[in-house]
A and B are shown apart, each in its own frame.
Chain A
Amino acid sequence: MNLLSYALLHMRRQWKETMAILLAFLAVLGLIMALQQSMQSRQDTLDGMVAAITVRGLVTDPTGTKTDNLQISSTFYYAMLHADDTQPYVKDVCLKSTVPCTIKGDTSSTSRQITIITREEADYPLRQSGAVQYNTGYDATLWQGAELACVVSQSLQSLCYTDTDGKQYIDVTAILMKGMAVETAMSISLPVAGIAITGEAIYCPWLAWEQVCSEAQSLYGILADSFSFAIKDNRYLDEYREKAIVHFGEVHANNPDKSYTYGMVIQDDQYLKLTLAAEKNLVIFRLIQPILYISAIGAGALVMMLQMRARKTELAILRTQGDKPIGILAQCMLEYGLLCLLGALLLCLIWPDAVLRHGVGVLLAFLTGALISIGYFVSVPLISQIKELEE
């Protein structure tokens, strides 16, 4: 209690010095918190980028120059397409395949194609024109479902007919591969789900067509001409790379890795450049973080050194009265500790979150510096102190 009352007395009588120390501590605390806050905003930017930037992956031939007509078997895409909930890596899987067919009533051409897709984006013309007009009862979710229906190009509209149920249909005969070089023809009446402004095509949902293949006992299922996807969560991008490299090779236009049937390209250059720039700032701040705490120790030591120089006489008197160095140290620390705590509480009123997160660390660092300085002055022998004062 004596120590406390002495500390308060001293603080009151030497209020200018007290204020100086308080301000010095507040400045150090404020600066470190500003830096921490800045680091947090950098982290937020980085997190924002990681979440917002779309990274797409693309399956190619081993040279990377061919991304269509690849004839990819389901071994390569099945897991990505059907285990959407269980695998954390990809989303928006775009698969496209074409099946030769003939259309009933079509006199202008004997060979047409059904384009099987998992999403509108899987077909470039469809994606680019972006203009599918869905009939009543249908919308873009058609592509993710297993309902057998189709979207036809407007140029094929004349081949559609309205059945007794009021729905539009188009009759096609698709050629499916039943086995090695064994084809089977399958006639299907496809409900028309919409009209597309593209050249001449019939579009069917992938999952629905898988059922058609299954019914036709097609050996190969659907062979995908093109295969692309987006990374679901960029935080797991590197993890995905490790998994993908097992099945797909690095592409190189002139020196393809012939041990792989397919190559893969992850279009991440922009993502990497952007996150790199954001990360640079963050890393530098992380690097200077320990330096800042060392600076806080230094600031504490320096301020206390200036203070203790002014209190040499007081220290000598206390020592001559019989006070032990440890007692004087405790008294000074209590005094400055209280002061700093007061400063931290004051700042807490303005900046509560940051102070609660970083205040304790800065307080401890500052007081450590103070302890070093005070310890140094207190440890000087009494004779030397008196001699120094006499000089």
Chain B
Amino acid sequence: MICIKRILRDKGRFLLLLAALVVAMLLLVMATQLHGQSILNEQTIENNCRTTALRQVLWHMETYDNGRSFAFRTVDANTIQTLNTQCNAILSINEGLFCSAVIPETQSLLPQDIASIRSMTHCERTAMFAVRINSIDIIEVNYAGTDFLENGETRTVYQEYYMITAEVVDTLALHHQLDPPSKVEIHGTWLNEAVEVPFEVGQEYIIMGTYDPKQPEYASLSIGPKGVIAKEKQQVIITGTQYLMLDQYAGIETILGLRNDLTMKTRNSSAPVAGKDGLLRIYAQQPEDYPLYVVPGDERADAMLDFVQTNINLLGVFAVDDLYTVPLFATQDAYISQGRAFTAAENEAGAKVCLISDTFARKNSLAVGQTIPIQFYDNFLLNDLSALGMSYYMSQLIPGQTPTAEGEYTIIGFYHAVEWQIGPFCFSPNTIFIPKGSMPCKGQAELRCIDSLSLKNGQETTFWEMVNDLGLPRELYKVYDNGYGDYSESLAAMKADSQFVFLACALLYIVILLAVLLLMLRSLKKDAAILRRIGSSRPYSRLYMLGCLVPIIALAALITYGLSKLIQAPLITAFGKLYTLEKPLLSTLTETTGLLSIEISNLPTLAGLGAALIAALVIASLLCCVGRERSLK
């Protein structure tokens, strides 16, 4: 009470000092908020800037005596592993996962010009027809080799090339974008062990395989040593072979089987073979017990039609941590055309959200915000085939395969990517992106079209140094930072300035605070000396001084808080409206953003004020304790 009376007695001086204190506190509050806003904005810039390194398919050309050049790949996997694990500039190794999926009641897409880009599709081209055989002709018989029999005798083996022409009676399953053929030409090869021609002219058969619009050279592939026969109810399902159609060189190619563990492997996955034309090929290795046919009575055959339909509309699912690290997005060959990408928080929480291509959405009348059921299948994607010929090649499901998982996913956005292009990073528009955290099945990893390296922003030089040190060619990687390197210097200067301004404000606050408190104490020390004279203890006299200062400090804090709230809210609202950025004309920006967003008003004013208050109280206490009373003259 005595302190309050003292303040009121000298209210002119104290009011002045109070005003100075309020100004100083306001300064610190404002500085705190500015610093907070700067940090937020810097984070926004850092989060929106991604430095992504994409591994290129590196080739060297070798020219042979005939003057032709061929490309060969030269990559040392171990050295790349060393780079990935030891380079400090690498922020993260982005490894996505792949699986197949079906969205019920949706149709997959095929390119308009399927002939030139057949390598991007496979299971979508699965087809099933009922055909009637018109003719069976042996085209030629060739010497195939000599068999050594157990009894020591030898036997000459001949290969018989047959051509079967058949007319299509019914199209049982075919992608909606493909036209059904009228005739089918089946080229078959079997050895002379076949005791009879496995087909009958005039009979109906069911054939299934992969619609192949332009691949005549596949005609010479064998259909098996014993032919492909089974006759029951005059229908046979033929598998494990390839068929050609007469119409415009279009054909049917089957490489699917009925075994549950059917797998396809590259002959030598670490060193792909370059063919005569320089293209890489993949070879299917069929297990020995691979069945060549099933009959309609077989329980597996009953599911055949459903299986074909499922394959036709099979979609790819890419589960990734960050959509923007996917190579096509990093190179700006893909972008979000509607909605948004999923956030890191959604990925961590395993949110069931997805992005689909705008082409697929348009075809199936899907909208952003819609929830769709997705059935996931563990399947595999042949991707690393590469830059020369193929890019995206989804394997087929096998009959009887059931979904590994199911879930309801909300479409949060559409993307648009370069479509049906041949390249190592391309994927088809039948691709769904989901957060990796929400991947419900095991999935397949190590895919070029989704894998990338995220570098720390501004650390590109370190990365290149490491690449150089390891003796890797610079051409092995392409780094995309969309100009970050060009403005990183000024960004660093901006960050340093933000800290400098904050420190300057804090320092100024301390100076003003010291000045104000010293001025206050100057007059209070006289009182303290009087108190000491009349017998008060030193702690009491110090407490008296502190008691006079604390209400002033508290009042200043209260006024500062009120003033900051009073000024800030309308200011932010007024300017927030003025500086709202709406989607400009023709832009890919999908959301409206406030230039002065709400985040500044959400910044805790109390943080700055609390710091100011604590500093004031501590300094006041120190000054009261350390200072000596004035001697009364």
Contacts and interface: CB of A to CB of B under 8 A. Distances in A.
B19 A302 contact: yes
State the majority secondary structure of interface residues on B.
mixed
Interface stretch (B156-164, B343-351, B371-379, B494-502): B494-502
Interface stretch (B171-179, B202-210, B331-339, B544-552): B331-339
Interface in B186-241: none
Interface string B12-56: 010010011001000100100010011001101100110000001
B590 interface: yes
Interface stretch (B142-150, B357-365, B458-466): B357-365
Interface in A258-279: 264-270, 272-274, 276-279
12 contacts: A31-B504, A65-B358, A69-B112, A195-B69, A197-B278, A198-B388, A241-B585, A254-B367, A268-B584, A269-B590, A285-B34, A309-B13
A52 B422 contact: no
Interface in B461-516: 478, 482-487, 489-491, 493-494, 496-498, 500-501, 504-505, 508, 511-512, 515
Given A44-B490, A250-B586, A306-B16, 5 more contacts: A48-B489, A67-B416, A128-B425, A155-B278, A278-B41
A278 B387 contact: no
Contacts of B270: none
Interface of A: 20, 23-24, 27, 30-31, 34-35, 37-38, 41-42, 44-45, 47-49, 51-54, 56-57, 63-69, 124-125, 128-131, 133, 154-155, 157-158, 195, 197-199, 238, 241-242, 244-245, 248, 250-251, 253-254, 264-270, 272-274, 276-281, 283-285, 287-288, 291, 295, 298-299, 302, 305-306, 309
Interface stretch (B133-141, B296-304, B308-316, B595-603): B595-603
B559 interface: no
Given A125-B421, A264-B586, A276 B493 contact: no
Contacts of B426: 124
Contact of A241 (B71, B419, B493, B584): B584
A128 B69 contact: no
Nearest to B23: A298
B445 interface: no
A277 B482 contact: no
A275 to B, nearest CB: 9
Contacts, number: 243
A272 B581 contact: yes
A110 B622 CA distance: 95
A107 B588 CA distance: 46
Interface in B565-589: 571, 575, 579, 581, 584-589
Interface of B: 13, 16, 19-20, 23, 27, 30, 34, 37-38, 41-42, 44-45, 48-49, 56-57, 59, 61, 67-71, 112-113, 277-279, 332-333, 335-338, 357-359, 361-362, 365, 367, 387-389, 414, 416, 418-426, 478, 482-487, 489-491, 493-494, 496-498, 500-501, 504-505, 508, 511-512, 515, 519, 571, 575, 579, 581, 584-590, 593, 595-597, 600
A53 B483 contact: yes
Contacts of B68: 154, 157-158
A49 B45 CA distance: 10
A299 B23 contact: yes
A176 B414 CA distance: 38
A195 B67 CA distance: 12
Contacts of A309: 13, 16
Given A68-B419, A155-B278, A199-B388, A38 B575 contact: no
Contacts of A277: 41-42, 44-45, 48
A40 to B, nearest CB: 8
A276 B581 contact: yes
B335 A30 contact: no
B501 A52 contact: no
Contacts of B279: 155, 199
Nearest to B341: A269
B118 to A, nearest CB: 11
A288 B44 contact: no
A266 B587 contact: yes
Given A52-B484, A284-B600, A45 B490 contact: yes
Contacts of A195: 61, 69
A266 B586 CA distance: 6
B589 A268 contact: yes
